[in-house]
Structure 1
Amino acid sequence: MGFFVREIGDTLKGKTFILSGSGNVAQYAAQQVHKQGGKVIALSDSKGVIFDEAGISDKKLSDVLDIKNSRRTSLREYTEQFPDAKWTNFSNQEDKCNPLWQLKCDVALPCATQNELNAAGAMALVDNGVTIVAEGANMPSTPGAIEVLREAKVAFAPGKASNVGGVASGGFEMVQNAQRMAWTAEKVVQELDSIMTRIHAGCVATSKQ
């Protein structure tokens, strides 16, 4: 995402983020947001949304990981540990707007599931001043949502580019298995950075055609 943000002449530092989901993709994305100086204020799961205006810090995120990865329960428990946070139940009705997308933020990262961001959700984000939407899940935005974001000139990173890291990492595992050797974490990051650099350059070139 760093390439994308620099391309539009912006920075993630000081920006507020909302992330859908609380699984592997959302957890890793939240960690990267922290490293870039951003503030995560909301996460979700299949039952609802947690909103923490003070920010879901590294310490609080470790509690989220414990809730989802170890105890495997609802994010609602987050509010028991941090009572200033707010919990909102999630509605599965497709014609309605997920309460997550109604929160005011600078950046939205749909990281949960397909078609989770519909036109109503995109309009709510636009009305609340979102400037960047980057997909972390596979096709999380409906065509209607993408059109709303495009017309509002919101910077949009499609999952086919921004979410390719997971597929690439799977390929790295196949290479390591075939070579009967294990790469260091630094080697994985180096190879992934090279792939993402080429993909970003290709996206920029295509957008200018």
Structure 2
Amino acid sequence: MGRTFDSLDDEEFNRLFADFRYTAYRLEALQVYDVSYEKDEFVRFLGGEDRGVFPGIAGWIEQTVRPAAQAGKRMHRVHVVEEPLSDYVRFECAWSYEHTVPAGEDVRIIAVPQGVWPEGLPRFDYWLFDSCRLVTMHYEDDGAFSYAELVDDPERIVEANRLRDLAVARSVPYREFASRYDAGFRPTTG
């Protein structure tokens, strides 16, 4: 087991997002994440309120996504989402991706029917920096962050690259996926 991070606020973990040279890739597999910096906004979203200020995503955009894009670095992710969308995925799309994509993050989606999973793709999350630094993300069943692990096993790193390429090949750009939904990420008719 490599270095573990028990908090998303860990300084060394966050330095990975500043220090990567070319690419930062994320595979997201969960349908709900229980993240403390989103709790109030998620409640507001469920209540039908307007987005307004969202400090957690604003910080992510201003401190990570936009500086990376301006430096010519690529931040991209693929999220496997089950349809019908969970409330959390609807929230993530409407209040996060709708703002990170214009800031320079390449978000892609693999949409599958509920209970079906894309063959060959894992049901766990990870970050892959510059195709050579792998961080596996571990969550509880309710989506609460448990820990992240910096993996130093070359075989697992190579496999993460293969899985990234497979996920990207099977995904569609976020905007294409989003065009099927209204502003609250409910399916549009017709």
TM-score (norm 1): 0.29
Between structures 1 and 2, the one with greater strand share? 2
State the structure with more CA Rg.
Answer: 1
TM-score (norm 2): 0.32
